[in-house]
Amino acid sequence: MTSTVTSASDIAAKPSGQNLRFYGLWVVAAIALVALPLIFSSGGSLTSFSLIGIAIIFALSYNILLGETGLLSFGHAVHYGLGGFAAVHVMNAVTAHGWPIPLPLIPLLGGIGGLVFALLIGWVMTRRAGTVFAMISLGIGELVASSSLILRSVFGGESGISTDRTALPHIFGWTFGPQIQVYYLIAFWVLVSAIAMYALTRTPLGRICNAVRDNPGRVEFIGYDPHVVRYLAYCFAGFFAGIAGGLAAINFEIANSAYLGAVQSGMVLFATFIGGASYFFGPILGAILVTYLQLGLTSVTSVWQLYFGIIFIGIVMFAPGGIAGLVMMHRPLIRARTLGMVIPSYLVAALPTLALACGVILVIETVARYAVTGGEGNIVKLLGIPFNTTAPATWAIAAVLVIGGFIVARITWRRIAGAWDRAAGIARDRGYLA
Amino acid sequence: MLELIVISTLNGVLFGMLLFLLSSGLTVIFSMMGVLNFAHASFYMLGAFFGYQLTKWIGFWPALVLAPLLVGAVGMAVERYGLRNTHKHGHVAELLLTFGLAFAIEEVVSMIWGKSPVDYRVPAALDFPAFTVFSTNYPAYKIFMLAISGLIFVALLIALKRTRVGLIVQAALTHPHMVGHLGHNVGRVFMLVFGVGSALAGLAGVIAGPALVTQSDMAALLGPILFVVIVFGGLGSLPGAFIASLFIGLVQTFAVALNGSLASAFGPLDPGTGPSVLTDIWNVTIAQIAPVLPYVLLVVILIVRPMGLLGTRET
């Protein structure tokens, strides 16, 4: 948290050099978004990039709640889903009535769909923060998800409502039939939304959101109503989630009740928290990683969701700042040039930690395969080595890797902690660490 | 009609007592430790699956004792090695840890026992009709479930109100630091309460498994309803949780049994209107909206009385 605050004051204090670097970063991001499909032009990677783009907007919108305002929501997919349904209905209406609304504007209407529901329900929800808000958001999420199966004319029941994105009025000769055109549409909205959401964190509203997160009592004391602030943040989050939902509806040409469900809400929470809620770029990292793992792991293993759960539990217990927090921890060390002191212990710890990870993976895969085949022999391949799931040797190897790896890894983790304390101590002496 | 009322009341009270077995543990854990245990319904599921597996190996009666103990041990391990280490990162981290655990437990269960329902049957000794109401045979197993949950309820009441441990637990609910200053090991009390709460959830799973469906999604189906129960009854209030459990149990059971809709009450709409939200609402039966009802109740209570029925703190 502290570093977001310092980086903001840095920008204000040192205009020229810092500003150049800051705007340069956004320009680089824009160029990367344009250039990506030119480098990886296969159909599969275009689809992946599109999904990642949608996930980035969704995760960033979630972080307005979790990271900026400190509201833990278990029902954020409600706004994503309603945005998707709003987009699909508008697209079908545009096609039916021949209204002059081109496809690139549809995500905005999806965003309005998400916003309207946030305006309606947010006031009751944001009365209290913390655990109570989390529980209510879960209840509202379930309410909307189960209602969506009853109101068939709006939500289309189990099959959902489909649409045709190419039937809308064309502009600049773009039909949005090919995936590459959809990718550029998504990339455009990713950039616009990311800039808008970053700007939001720099407004007085964004600042007071942080204050409400850290100390609502004092916010009230200086004359702001935390309830109103939370409500506004909730509405913004709902709006951007709706944009993501609208883009998803365009990408898949369908909206169904799975968009609103608990699984979708859980995934955005995973992405944001694994990436790191304390930094603006954390959810972006998380969205890329989670979407990539989702796409990549499904073809490798049948129990990929379990790995998600384990990674998530590991992050919650050992690195609550997420990946972004882990990376940013090293910044003062790099500045103080003491990073070299911790790297050797990292390298020493890498081997037993990897052995432990391999052991856990071997256990999971063996058990999974063993249970599926009902105890019959089957082969699990790990690092190219075949393991027979019924052979006692496999179970023995797995046990040795897990137990031995854990014992040795724990010793090396303590070494890291020791080296870290020494490096941080020197960095503190040199004035780089508060 | 009378038959329907009698049977539904019995089933509703039974479902309510099951809900109370779960919500009592959840609400005590919440008010003591400030942790909303997302994995509580997962412990219930673990209880059902442990019960199924142990019944296969050693029979139902030993399983009825062993499975809750096992689940309680899992719960204590979660508190000792998970929550206690996460506590320094705040309540949100603790909540997220239990959320991740719930996710992981569901995956582990569906990895080992598969995603389809397992064949967890009522034990032969209890597989007979207890009595006949009008023309319906009421199974003895449901009476057994009712007896067990009633017994636990009384035992819990006595343990909390009449024993020394119960006194410490009650004190730790409101003044954990003072209890610590008086020389009690608050950490151990927390672990014990977490273990007992998990074991109660596990017991609910063991006895509910044969009557309901034992499947890897049973935690995800019941979990949100549990949260509704404890918010509805008032956070941290045991009597509130009891009333809310019975109320929601009865509401859901009656809703499932009733087949009326606005169309059957006031006649069908003009067929010329075509499908719209109105026709959806007009034609939906009460049985179909049963899964939505708890959440509607949640929103209503939050608007009308934010602290819940018997809660003392504003939610």
What percent of chain A shows pLDDT beyond 70?
93
Q: Which of B100, B111, B315 sits opposite A132 (nearest CB)?
A: B315
A304 close to B (CB below 8 A): no
Is residue B217 within 8 Å of B106, Cβ to Cβ?
yes
CATH of residue A231's domain is 1.10.3470
Output phi, psi for A254, to 5 deg: -155, 150
Q: Most A CBs within 10 Å: which of B96, B217, B261, B299, as the mutation test of the A interface?
A: B96
C-beta atoms of B92 and A130 within 8 A = yes
Binning pLDDT at 50, 70 and 90, where does residue B275 land? low
Helix then strand then coil, in percent of chain A rounded to 5, is 80, 5, 20
Helix (H) or strand (E) holding A255: strand A254-255
Helix (H) or strand (E) holding A208: helix A204-214
CA distance A118 to chain B (A): 15
Residues of B in contact with A310 (CB under 8 A): 104
Helices (H), B59-139: 60-77, 84-86, 91-113
> In whole angstroms, how far apart are CA B216 and each of A74, B68, B104, B111, B288?
20, 18, 11, 9, 23
For CA atoms B189, B191, B192, B193, give the dihedral sign.
positive
Name every residue whose Cβ is closer than 8 Å to that of residue B226 and which is 6 or more positions away in sequence.
Answer: B19, B22, B23, B26, B40, B41
Q: What is the pLDDT of residue A374?
A: 63
C-beta atoms of A72 and B114 within 8 A = no
Q: Which of A136, A266, A320 sits opposite B103 (nearest CB)?
A: A266
Is residue A227 within 8 Å of A254, Cβ to Cβ?
no
Q: Half-sphere exposure of A403 toward its Cβ, with a 13 Å CA cutoff?
A: 6
For residue A123, is it within any domain?
yes
Mean pLDDT of chain B: 84
- DSSP assignment letter at A342: T
For residue A225, is it within any domain?
yes
Is residue B35 within 8 Å of B83, Cβ to Cβ?
yes
Tokens at B59, concatenated: 């029979």
Give the pLDDT mean for B225-248: 87
Question: Domain ends where: A271, A296, A322?
Answer: A322
Distance CA B269, CA A126 (A): 39
Distance CA B206, CA B274 (A): 48
Chain B, residues 182-221, CB within 8 A of chain A, namely 220
Binning pLDDT at 50, 70 and 90, where does residue A88 land? very high
Is the pLDDT assigned to residue B271 strictly greater than 80? no
Distance CA B118, CA A301 (A): 23
Is the pLDDT assigned to residue A433 strictly greater than 70? no
Q: What's the longest Cα–Cα distance across chain A?
A: 70
Binning pLDDT at 50, 70 and 90, where does residue A434 land? low
Is residue B223 within 8 Å of B40, Cβ to Cβ?
yes
Amino acid at A397: I
Same domain (yes/no): A112, A67 = yes
The more confidently predicted of residues A149 and A246 is: A246
Same domain (yes/no): A212, A85 = yes
C-beta atoms of B111 and A143 within 8 A = no
Q: What is the pLDDT of residue A6?
A: 42
Same domain (yes/no): A214, A347 = no
Nearest CA in chain B to A322: B93
Residues in chain A: 434
Same domain (yes/no): A222, A262 = yes
Domain that includes residue A384, residue range: 337-429
For residue A93, is it within any domain?
yes
For residue A2, is it within any domain?
no
Give the pLDDT mean for B84-95: 84
Give the pLDDT mean for B18-26: 89
Same domain (yes/no): A415, A305 = no
Residues of B in contact with A308 (CB under 8 A): 103
C-beta atoms of B231 and A262 within 8 A = no
Distance CA A255, CA B122 (A): 42
Binning pLDDT at 50, 70 and 90, where does residue A304 land? confident
Question: Domain ends where: A293, A322, A351?
Answer: A322
- Which residues are A171's β-sheet partners? A174
For residue A8, is it within any domain?
no
A146 close to B (CB below 8 A): yes
Is the pLDDT assigned to residue B126 strictly greater than 80? no
Give the pLDDT mean for B151-157: 86
C-beta atoms of A309 and B103 within 8 A = yes
**Range with the largest mean pLDDT of A38-47, B149-158, B198-207, B254-263:** B198-207
Q: Which of A72, A131, A143 sits opposite B292 (nearest CB)?
A: A143
Q: Most B CBs within 10 Å: which of A144, A317, A373, as the mutation test of the B interface?
A: A317
pLDDT in tens, B176-235: 778 888 888 878 888 888 999 999 999 999 998 888 888 888 888 888 889 889 888 887
Q: Half-sphere exposure of A360 toward its Cβ, with a 13 Å CA cutoff?
A: 12
Chain B, residues 118-137, CB within 8 A of chain A, namely none
Same domain (yes/no): A316, A419 = no
Number of domains in chain A: 2
Is residue B72 within 8 Å of B202, Cβ to Cβ?
yes
Same domain (yes/no): A196, A58 = yes
A406 close to B (CB below 8 A): no
For residue A328, is it within any domain?
no
Q: Which of B91, B227, B306 sits opposite A130 (nearest CB)?
A: B91
- Neighbouring CB atoms inside 10 A of A198's CB total 15
Residues of B in contact with A286 (CB under 8 A): none
Residues of B in contact with A152 (CB under 8 A): 275, 280
Name every residue whose Cβ is closer than 8 Å to that of residue A208 and which is 6 or more positions away in sequence.
Answer: A219, A224, A229
CA distance A3 to chain B (A): 18
Residues of B in contact with A142 (CB under 8 A): 224, 295
Q: Half-sphere exposure of B258 toward its Cβ, with a 13 Å CA cutoff?
A: 19
Same domain (yes/no): A97, A202 = yes
Residues of A in contact with B248 (CB under 8 A): none
Distance CA A236, CA A6 (A): 24
Strand A385-388 and strand B129-133: pairing? Answer: unpaired
For residue A215, is it within any domain?
yes
Same domain (yes/no): A283, A410 = no
C-beta atoms of A368 and B36 within 8 A = no
Q: What is the pLDDT of residue B315?
A: 41
Is residue A164 within 8 Å of A95, Cβ to Cβ?
yes
Give the pLDDT mean for A268-283: 91
CA distance A189 to chain B (A): 30
The ipTM estimated for the assembled molecules is 0.86
CA distance A230 to chain B (A): 15
For residue A193, is it within any domain?
yes
User: 3-state class of B175 per DSSP?
Assistant: coil
Distance CA B19, CA A135 (A): 17
B99 close to A (CB below 8 A): yes
Give the pLDDT mean for A390-411: 83
Question: Domain ends where: A292, A322, A352?
Answer: A322
B113 close to A (CB below 8 A): yes
Q: Which of B107, B220, B284 sits opposite A305 (nearest CB)?
A: B107
C-beta atoms of B231 and A70 within 8 A = no
C-beta atoms of B298 and A131 within 8 A = no
B77 close to A (CB below 8 A): no
CA distance A61 to chain B (A): 19
Least confident of A409-418, B105-114, B130-139: B130-139
C-beta atoms of B231 and A132 within 8 A = yes
Same domain (yes/no): A360, A250 = no
Same domain (yes/no): A163, A239 = yes
- Which residues are A388's β-sheet partners? A379
Q: Which of A146, A313, A317 sits opposite B104 (nearest CB)?
A: A313
Among residues A58, A50, A54, the alpha carbon closest in space to that of A182 is found at: A50
Is residue B41 within 8 Å of B219, Cβ to Cβ?
yes
User: 3-state class of B77 per DSSP?
Assistant: helix
Distance CA B126, CA B143 (A): 9
Give the pLDDT mean for A182-195: 92
Q: What is the pLDDT of residue B59?
A: 86
pLDDT in tens, A190-211: 999 999 999 999 999 999 999 9
Binning pLDDT at 50, 70 and 90, where does residue A3 land? very low
User: 3-state class of A206 per DSSP?
Assistant: helix
Q: Which of A150, A153, A266 sits opposite B275 (nearest CB)?
A: A153
Tokens at A183, concatenated: 């990718």
pLDDT in tens, A239-252: 999 999 999 999 99
Q: What is the pLDDT of residue A10?
A: 44
Q: What is the pLDDT of residue A373?
A: 66
C-beta atoms of A150 and B100 within 8 A = no
A367 close to B (CB below 8 A): yes
Is residue B102 within 8 Å of B219, Cβ to Cβ?
yes
Q: Most B CBs within 10 Å: which of A78, A131, A154, as the mutation test of the B interface?
A: A131
Is the pLDDT assigned to residue A184 strictly greater than 80? yes
Q: Per DSSP, which regions of B134-203 are E strands?
A: 136-139
Distance CA B295, CA B228 (A): 7
Tokens at A176, concatenated: 């949005």
Name every residue whose Cβ is closer than 8 Å to that of residue B81 and which is 6 or more positions away in sequence.
Answer: none
Same domain (yes/no): A209, A112 = yes
Least confident of A51-60, A71-80, A142-151, A154-163: A154-163
Residues of A in contact with B108 (CB under 8 A): 306
Least confident of A169-178, A317-326, B22-31, B106-115: A169-178
Is the pLDDT assigned to residue B21 strictly greater than 50? yes
